[in-house]
Chain A
């Protein structure tokens, strides 16, 4: 039986999949000699062509060889892994493929009503012009080319860090494999960082696993959790709206996605009663075993209160759920009165009844916060109360991929062990860090303010993280037109926005939303000037769109 993940909200654009793989003779019979060569290919790609790209159509003129090839392929959409087909990842989905294509067209001189594509689809800080932290990059340069350690241009603290990292590497080279769990001295530094952050709650380096970005840690944890068949198949609770890594990973693993809805009216807060409802519903058809939380929220930008975290932990303890806390935006908190509380800290403050029982994995990354170093794919996870035998299995599992990228591990070390007061790089570091975070806070405020002046757009404050997720009211005629085209209405809206203004946002349907509501996610990362232009273009477009379809 097919055990692919199900979603209870967002419509799936792909056609239903065949469960049994075709045999060779099936394929032969399926080939219609009268059909024009390539017709089969065209039919099979229908579900994907909405990305609007010619790359999927065969380039070479159709001929006998094409037909023969198509008939005999070992690996076709019908015979491939059916779970992979169900995977969707909107953040880099059709709208982004189209944006890339438009950029190419602009380069080739095609006339458009805009001169550049502004990509606000993904939290890619450097691509949006954010500058790297000088200290981090100095150390990385020295780790890459240790001869620079003799260079006077670099401050002593940067050299000290580079030497320390290199000493932690095999043969003192970042080109050596590290231990699969990560370089030991980096894991020690991470543990010390976690302790400082959490006001002294102890952290054991043996519980730290360095990862290839947070995504890798999250997928690995989910993979460990998935078991059973049919009604005993593992279910995993995720927020709606969610970051689509979760739905994608669950689809790929054939786990059951259990949706709980955040409360948009109350600033995307999480209600335990909604968790309870979702869990009770899910228990009828699967075995819910894990609860995933993203705090600060992606795409929703809320920052969870301490009380709410306590409630969630109590719920997980009572219902025996493994907690997964995605805390990659832990430094991105902007709103007055909001503060980041780690699940680990709250768990330990709740006393041994909870801190010695609740199983928790929390995730962090080098890609967000003030550093935004996405390209290095650095990250870590900390596991708490994990069964030692399972931990041994986890260690074995990560060893198959040898190790996370060592430059990313080095960068992770710098993030958790930045310049200290008294060190020569301290003031520059603090200045750069503050400048980035205060500018993000300003852009968060600006985004909320401007979007809320547009009739038909309503957005919650961006308390944290890097995104706004406004609700857009779409006219009934636009919804009908979208449906006729087989598109989600907010995909239709975002596609049109892209074609008319060059602005690339991700439709809410890619994250999940309550039926009948429509949203988009935009990052607040473009530089302030550009962000203002972007917001005013969105405003103009929305008004035009409403008029056009009223």
Chain B
């Protein structure tokens, strides 16, 4: 297992190009031969921990890390009849809506069934608008089949629909389908954009600014690419807001060691749940323009805004409202996905990115690069098309669609409120309002004795806390150290996705556990 490090420490280590971080990377003194099941000796393998890609060893992804592996093990043990102080494991580690019981949008799944098996188009059990959408998508596929490869950038028709969606969303700001790249979930596009940006060696190596706390895809992709991670801290005491002063501090510090070229923003925030104000977005854009930074806006939670007075503003829209001085200059890539919002269709791996002001020659390189992987999954492209082109008021599926959509979003808003309220009643747990997205990221007070015990075990204190919570209560949340946090503070991330009843039980268990844990280590 690897030692989760505080962001500042891992930042320092990555700057000094330290040896890989996990324990297994220490020069191994064990015998260089292995016994096989047959009892035969064989020489050292070609591919070992010592000889593999060192960048990959630095990759960490807590959302599916050790705690989740332990949760799966516990589930297996429960199945095998092992006695535990709980009867089921509740996984609140990942924003996996359907796994938590959220129902898919009927219209979307009808169209996907029609696309999968077009003979159903002759069936009168499906509404006409669903059939029309399916026919339209199939016509845009090679040979009328979603089993054909699409263009590498994505099906043209879908890209056109995405563009129209963006224009509507952004109050008329134009969008060009040529600037839309469909992707295999948003993760794929984010990693691709970062890959394009990375160059240089030593002090000219590309640095990328990411928020702390962050979604660990970013740190993982940067480690994989050997780029420099530049941490800027969100202000927890100010509802996880982003202060340009902090961006400036982080940038200046980083310029001594690397070449910062990109700034990543997640809005609404993951894991922190804040929704950025329009003013703040403007400030960030101005900062990026002044400092010559490429902007990456992760906007996959754009429909998940719950708090009164909060509203989602896309970076693209704000950029264009700031006038040509900015809108003709600032390079921006923004990302969206089918996995979140009200649809939560994670398994389809659908998504897109829109690039603005990208150098045409770089764009040609991007198109070439994505062509090597042939195309994003076509069912995911079809689903994305439905997300950006849902039933319209005059269509037969409209009212069902709206009912389903509203119900999901209203339930999420209720759970967001409830989570904040209940957690804040627990002495030693403090959480900001979940203004948007799907997570709460409360700060937890961990007693000194617990911190010491964690250190003895070689665990981050919040990992120790979360592991104990899992083992005693069957509740799976992700320690804050997997996302990054200010030194000496501890958090966990939990999703607000469990159904309301289960969420109440869940929160009650967290409360009970925290009190017990605090007593035990006081």
**Do B45 and A385 touch across chains, with their CB atoms under 8 A apart?**
yes
A56 in complex: contacting residue of B52, B361, B374, B375, CB < 8 Å: B361
Decide: A227 and B52 in contact? CB cutoff 8 A: yes
- Which chain B residues numbered 48 to 67 have a C-beta less than 8 Å away from chain A? 48-49, 51-54, 56-57, 59-61, 63-65
Q: What are the residues of chain A within 8 A of B150 when measuring CB–CB?
A: 375
Q: A353 near B: Cβ within 8 Å? A: yes
Contact present for A175 and B328 (CB under 8 Å) = no
Measured between C-beta atoms, what is the minimum distance from A232 to chain B in Å? 10
Residues of B within 8 A of A225 (CB): 47, 52-53
At the interface, yes or no: A160 with Cβ under 8 Å from chain B? no
CB distance from B152 to the nearest CB of A (A): 6
Complex CA distance for A347 and B142, rounded to whole angstroms:
39
Q: Which of B157-165, B191-199, B244-252, B458-466 contacts A (4 or more CB under 8 A)?
A: B191-199
A491 to B331 alpha-carbon distance, docked (Å): 35
Q: How far is the CB of B225 from chain A (nearest CB, A)?
A: 8
Q: How would residues 206 to 225 of chain A score, 1 for a CB under 8 Å from any chain B CB and 0 otherwise?
A: 00000011011001000111
Assess whether A145 is interfacial by the CB under 8 Å rule.
yes
Once bound together, how far apart are the Cα atoms of A322 and B53, in whole Å? 14
Residues of B with C-beta under 8 A to A69: 328-329, 357
When distances are taken between beta carbons in the complex, the residues of chain A under 8 Å from B262 are 74
Q: Which chain B residues (360-390) contact chain A, with CB distance < 8 Å? A: 360-362, 364-365, 368-369, 371-380
B424 to chain A, nearest CB (A): 29
- Interface status of B38 (Cβ within 8 A of chain A): yes
Identify which of A87, A148, A290 gathers the most chain B CB atoms within 10 Å of its CB.
A148
Within 8 A of B (CB), among A131-162: 132, 137-138, 140-142, 144-145, 148, 151, 153
Contact yes or no, B198 A138, CB < 8 A: no
Q: What are the residues of chain B within 8 A of A390 when measuring CB–CB? A: 45, 47-49, 52
Q: Is the CB of B347 within 8 A of A406?
A: yes
A377 at the interface (CB under 8 A from B): yes
**Cβ of A62 under 8 Å from chain B:** no
For residue A328, CB closer than 8 A to chain B, the reply is no
> Among residues 37 to 62 in chain A, which have CB atoms less than 8 Å away from a CB atom of chain B?
41, 44-45, 48, 55-58
State the CA gap A110–B146 with chains docked (Å): 29
Q: Residue B199 contacts which of A80, A179, A245 (CB distance < 8 angstroms)? A: A80
- Flag if A58 contacts B360 (CB, 8 Å): yes
* B217 within 8 Å of A (CB atoms): yes
A126 to B54, CA, bound (A): 41
Query: Which of A256-264, A396-404, A472-480 faces chain B?
Result: A396-404
Chain B residues with Cβ under 8 A from A176's Cβ? 96-99, 346-347
Given A45-B361, A81-B195, A375:B99 Cβ within 8 A: no
Q: Does B116 contact A (CB under 8 A)?
A: yes
Contact A402 B64 (CB under 8 A): yes
Q: Tell whether, in the assembled complex, residue A68 and residue B47 are in contact, meaning their CB atoms are under 8 Å apart.
A: no
Contact between A374 and B148 (Cβ–Cβ < 8 Å)? yes
B447 at the A/B interface (Cβ < 8 Å)? no
A227 vs B63: C-alpha distance in the bound complex, in angstroms? 27
> Assuming A68-B329, A224-B56, A375-B146, is B364 touching A407 (CB within 8 A)?
no
Decide: B380 and A405 in contact? CB cutoff 8 A.
yes
Most A CB within 10 A of own CB, among B65, B98, B292: B98
Cα of A373 to Cα of B151 in the assembled complex, Å: 15
Contact B372 A408 (CB under 8 A): no
CA distance A128 to B368 in the complex (A): 23
Q: Within 8 Å of chain A (Cβ to Cβ): is B102?
A: yes
> Is B46 in contact with A320, judged by CB distance below 8 angstroms?
yes
Q: Is the CB of B259 within 8 A of A21?
A: yes
B233 within 8 A of A: no
Chain A contacts of B65 at CB under 8 A?
Answer: 396, 399
**A175 and B371 contacting across the interface, CB-CB below 8 Å:** no
Interface residues of A in 164-183 (CB under 8 A from B): 169-171, 173-180
Closest to B36 in A: A356
B185 touches A402 (CB 8 A): yes
Residue of B nearest to A183 (CB): B347
Q: Which residues of A contact B229 (CB under 8 A)?
A: none
Contacts of B361 in A (CB 8 A): 41, 44-45, 48, 56, 76-77
- Complex Cα–Cα for A225 and B201 (A): 21
CA distance in complex: A386, B45 (Å): 8
Q: In the complex, A69 Cα to B289 Cα: how many Å?
A: 11
Picked from B149, B204, B331, the residue with its CB within 8 Å of the CB of A122 is B149
Which residue from A126, A145, A408 sits with its C-beta under 8 Å from B377?
A: A408
Chain B neighbourhood of A41, CB < 8 A = 359-361
Contact of A406 among B102, B104, B196, B348 (CB under 8 A): B348
Which residues of B lie under 8 Å from residue A277 when comparing CB positions?
Answer: none
User: What residues on B are CB-neighbors of A356 within 8 Å?
Assistant: 36-38, 40, 42
Contact A374 B374 (CB under 8 A): yes
CA distance A81 to B198 in the complex (A): 5
For chain B residues 87-123, which have a beta carbon within 8 Å of chain A? 94, 96-102, 104, 109-110, 112-114, 116-117, 120, 123
Residue ID in chain B nearest A401 by CB atoms? B187
Among B52, B61, B328, chain A packs the most CB atoms within 10 A around the CB of B52
B359 touches A212 (CB 8 A): no
Q: How far is the CA of A56 from the CA of B110 in the complex (A)?
A: 39
**A126 close to B147 (CB less than 8 A):** yes
For residue B184, CB closer than 8 A to chain A, the reply is yes
A433 within 8 A of B: no
Shortest Cβ distance from residue A113 to the other chain B in the assembled complex, whole angstroms: 24
Q: Chain A 79-116 against B: per-residue CB contact (8 Å), 1 yes, 0 no?
A: 11110110111011100000010000000000000000
- CB-based contact B199/A74 at 8 Å: no
Minimum Cβ distance to chain B for residue A154 (Å): 9
Contact B362–A215 (Cβ < 8 Å): no
Report the separation of the CA atoms of residues A41 and B357 in the bound assembly, to the nearest whole angstrom: 13
Q: Cβ of A74 and Cβ of B347 under 8 Å apart?
A: no
A275 to B125 Cα, complex, angstroms:
60
B197:A399 contact, CB within 8 angstroms: no
With contacts A176-B347, A359-B45 taken as known, whether A215 is within 8 angstroms of B373 at the C-beta atoms is yes
Complex: how many Å from CA A223 to CA B57? 11
The answer to whether B49 touches A171, judged by C-beta atoms less than 8 angstroms apart, is: no
Is B345 an interface residue when CB atoms closer than 8 A count as contact? yes
- A74, B261: Cβ atoms under 8 Å? yes
Contact of A377 among B178, B329, B377 (CB under 8 A): B377
CB atoms of B199 and A21 under 8 A apart: yes
Q: Which of A357-396 contact B (CB under 8 A)?
A: 357, 359, 371-377, 385-387, 389-390, 393, 396
| Set A126, A137, A396, A404: member contacting B142, Cβ < 8 A | A126
Taking CB atoms and an 8 Å cut-off, the chain B residues in 193-243 that contact chain A are 195-201, 204, 216-217, 220-221, 224
The answer to whether B148 touches A76, judged by C-beta atoms less than 8 angstroms apart, is no
Q: Are B49 and A376 in contact (CB under 8 A)?
A: no
Task: List chain A positions with a Cβ less than 8 A from chain B.
Answer: 1, 20-21, 24, 41, 44-45, 48, 55-58, 65, 68-70, 72-77, 79-82, 84-85, 87-89, 91-93, 100, 122, 124-130, 132, 137-138, 140-142, 144-145, 148, 151, 153, 169-171, 173-180, 212-213, 215-216, 219, 223-227, 244-245, 248-249, 252, 289-290, 320-322, 352-353, 356-357, 359, 371-377, 385-387, 389-390, 393, 396-397, 399-408
Residues of B within 8 A of A (CB): 24, 36-38, 40, 42-43, 45-49, 51-54, 56-57, 59-61, 63-65, 72, 94, 96-102, 104, 109-110, 112-114, 116-117, 120, 123, 125, 141-143, 145-152, 178, 184-185, 187-188, 191, 195-201, 204, 216-217, 220-221, 224, 259, 261-262, 292-294, 324, 328-329, 331, 343-349, 357-362, 364-365, 368-369, 371-380
Q: What would 26 A/B residue contacts be, using CB atoms closer than 8 Å?
A: A44-B361, A65-B328, A75-B331, A76-B362, A87-B368, A87-B372, A92-B374, A124-B148, A137-B116, A141-B120, A151-B125, A176-B347, A178-B347, A224-B53, A225-B53, A356-B37, A357-B42, A377-B378, A389-B48, A393-B49, A393-B57, A396-B59, A396-B65, A400-B221, A401-B184, A405-B348
Q: Apart from A138-B117, A174-B347, A225-B47, list 8 A-B contacts with CB within 8 A.
A: A1-B201, A69-B328, A132-B147, A169-B98, A173-B104, A352-B40, A400-B220, A402-B187
Question: Closest 5 A-B residue pairs measured CB to CB?
Answer: A127-B142, A170-B99, A406-B347, A375-B378, A141-B117
